Amino acid sequence: MHPSKVDRQRLAHFTDLPNVGPAMAADLRLLGFTAPQDLRGHCPYALYDALCAKSGTRHDPCVVDVFISIIRFLDGATPQPWWAYTAERKAYLQGHAIPSSR
């Protein structure tokens, strides 16, 4: 869903989350999640690594940005477009290895 249309009081489906459309919702289900709230507390970089492993393909790194936007939103941040997190991801990955667990 476009971040400007997100309603924090209405989070029944993955597509109710910022930057999540049908394809990303399917990816979240592939990872074993069943509800938006299940994502709370997860590491966006670990989610990306798990998605790549489960799907057998290396996804675009911008998927990490979407995961960051989701986790931050669930932690109470204002919904932002995924590209608002691109610089953060690039800086983080430049100095860190990708975490492999939650």
Predicted confidence (pLDDT) per residue in 32-74, tens digit: 999 999 999 999 999 999 999 999 999 999 999 999 999 999 9
Mean pLDDT value across the chain: 93
Among 29, 26, 22, 61, smallest CA distance to 44 is for: 61
Percent pLDDT > 90 in the chain is 85
Tokens 């074993």: give the residue. 32
pLDDT score of 98 more than 70: no
pTM of the model: 0.90
Six token digits for residue 58: 């290396």
